[in-house]
Amino acid sequence: MRIDQEKFQTRIGLNTGSVIRKGKDIFGEVVNVASRMQSKAPPGDILLTDATYQEIKEYVRCTQLGDIEVKGIKDFITAYSPQEVIADTTKLMDGGKDEPGPEAEGIDLRPELPDPFRQSGRRAASRPY
C-alpha cells in the first residue's frame, strides 16, 4: 500500500474561554462551540473562533473565512483558518515574549490544503451533533 493511501485527515475546531471542569471532563458553551467548529472544518483543516484568533494573532497569520451558523448559538460565529506561524518559535519555547516581524521565520501550516470557503463563497451548513 502506498503512503498516500494510508493517510487520513482530521478536522480541528478551537475556541477559547472559561469551561466547567468535573474530574477529567470539561463542559460549557466554549466546549460546544469548539465541537461545532470542528464539525464545520473541511477534512485536514483547522477552524478557529474569534476568541482564539484574538489570543494568537500576534503569533500566527490567519485568514478570516467569514461567518458561519453554529447549532445552538444565536449569533453567527466568525471563522478563521491558521496559515503560517509568524513568531520566532525558538524564543517562544524559551519563555520569552516574541514580537513578530520581518526577522521571524515563517512556517507554512497548510501549504497543500484547498480552501472551500473562499472558493465557493458559501456558508457552512449546520450539521447535527
Q: 77-103: per-residue pLDDT in tens?
A: 999 999 999 988 787 777 655 455 444
How far apart (Å, rounded) are the C-alpha atoms in residues 61 and 83?
6
Residues 11-22 have a mean pLDDT of 94
pLDDT of residue 91: 76
pLDDT of residue 1: 52
Q: What is the torsional sign of CA 37, 38, 44, 48?
A: positive
pLDDT of residue 73: 86
pLDDT of residue 82: 96
Residue 50 belongs to a domain: yes
Query: Considering its fold, how many domains does the chain have in total?
Result: 1
Q: What is the separation of C-alpha 13 from the centre of its chain, rounded to a whole number of angstroms? A: 5
What is the pTM for the complete model shown? 0.66
Residue 53 belongs to a domain: yes
Q: What is the separation of C-alpha 44 from the centre of its chain, rounded to a whole number of angstroms? A: 11
DSSP label of 10? -
pLDDT of residue 3: 65
For residue 62, give the CATH number of its domain.
3.30.70.1230
Residue 19 belongs to a domain: yes
Residue 30 belongs to a domain: yes
Cβ count within 10 A of residue 27: 11
Q: Are 16 and 52 in contact (CB under 8 A)?
A: yes
Residue 71 belongs to a domain: yes
Residue 105 belongs to a domain: no
pLDDT of residue 119: 42
Residue 22 belongs to a domain: yes
pLDDT of residue 97: 53
Domain that holds residue 44: 9-82
Residue 111 belongs to a domain: no
**pLDDT over 70 for what percent of the chain?**
67
Alpha helices in the chain (DSSP H): 3-6, 29-40, 50-56, 89-93, 116-120
